[in-house]
Homo-oligomer: A and B are copies of this chain.
């Protein structure tokens, strides 16, 4: 049977029980009910008997406090925003998944907003999130300036994940791309000292810089002097990978001997080109930043760098939680999470072991 609330029209929320209802049914005031339901019954010395009565009634009626009323009252929404470029990119989906679960466990909802790698759209969605009074923000930003975020950070904590925004000093969790890339490139360059190409995305983004830096470092360690024409940078869309590959193959009249793509999306573009031009697969050694399970089944052996999503997500989670609770950050504001290299070329693997014992610093 339907029990209709007394006050007002109930057209919109046929079976929503409010704290007033509970209080009324229990024969107490809203305040008492509120205290008990928030576990402050003992603190305020509400009699055991009353507490039980209230809790029972709430239970029976499946009482659920209204989120918006609470949020309005306390100006905390128990919601955080996650801004990322594309949900369909495995890297971002993985991070989102880990974060979703971490935050859910502590009663915080995460709202995911996609920027489509577009700074303007990013502005729009961030605005949207702020309007919803998110209590914190984790951003995988497509911006090169942190002006907006610095301002935001003064009243809503912001954590940068995966990418540094310009030279922002906001807390930052990212993969130590430089180290991993350098190691990988050193091994590549040792095998192909006369030709190691590099395809990158937006040069302005920090990950791009780090990966390029790692590339340079790797060449240097292998005593290979870089050539300008080896390095191409566009953006991270896969068609750029396709285009750069086409360009280079046309220039050379063959495929490059060794090629490192700075992201999985670029690799996909390259693979698409290779699929359409199978003869170019000859004598090509591929390597890439970012890993994917399916690479294990590819005809081409592709060495890859696997980011540690679990650690990245966990550190971002911890940092944001600390900030939201006004605790000082226990960890440094910039954290570099090491990545793992998945060697798929036997020769690469062999060399990597040699280098690890002989040559590689650290």
> CB of A190 within 8 A of chain B?
no
Partner of A155, one of B13, B113, B297, B299: B13
Segment among A94-102, A142-150, A330-338 that sits at the interface with chain B: A94-102
Q: A66-90: which residues lie under 8 A (CB-CB) from chain B?
A: 66-69, 71-72, 75, 77, 86-88, 90
Q: Are B87 and A93 interface neighbours, CB within 8 A?
A: yes
Q: What are the 4 closest A-B residue pairs judged by CB atoms, nearest first?
A: A68-B71, A299-B299, A68-B72, A68-B68
Q: Are B69 and A72 interface neighbours, CB within 8 A?
A: yes
Distance (whole angstroms) from the CB of A14 to the closest CB of chain B: 5
Partner of A100, one of B109, B114, B296: B114
Q: Are B64 and A72 interface neighbours, CB within 8 A?
A: no
Distance (whole angstroms) from the CB of A340 to the closest CB of chain B: 18
Find the residue from A130, A132, A272, A299 having the highest chain B CB count within 10 A. Answer: A132
Partner of A271, one of B71, B86, B272, B294: B294
Could you give, for residues 276-311 of chain A, a 1 whenever the CB lies within 8 Å of some chain B CB and a 0 otherwise?
000000000000000011101111100000000000
> CB of A169 within 8 A of chain B?
no
> CB of A29 within 8 A of chain B?
no
- Known: A68-B71, A72-B66. Contact between A274 and B297, CB under 8 A? yes
Partner of A299, one of B65, B111, B297: B297
18 contacts between A and B (CB under 8 A): A13-B75, A13-B155, A65-B131, A66-B72, A67-B131, A68-B77, A87-B96, A96-B112, A97-B114, A101-B114, A101-B116, A109-B113, A109-B132, A111-B111, A272-B296, A275-B297, A292-B294, A297-B300
Given contacts A88-B94, A112-B112, 15 further A-B contacts (CB under 8 A): A14-B154, A14-B155, A64-B131, A67-B132, A67-B133, A68-B68, A86-B97, A88-B97, A100-B112, A104-B113, A104-B125, A109-B113, A268-B294, A274-B297, A275-B296
Q: A110-164: which residues lie under 8 A (CB-CB) from chain B?
A: 111-114, 116, 125, 127-128, 130-133, 154-155
> CB of A12 within 8 A of chain B?
yes
User: What is the bound-complex CA distance between A67 and B300, given in angstroms?
Assistant: 52
Distance (whole angstroms) from the CB of A304 to the closest CB of chain B: 13
> CB of A52 within 8 A of chain B?
no
Distance (whole angstroms) from the CB of A108 to the closest CB of chain B: 10
User: What is the bound-complex CA distance between A104 and B114, given in angstroms?
Assistant: 10
Q: Are A87 and B77 interface neighbours, CB within 8 A?
A: no
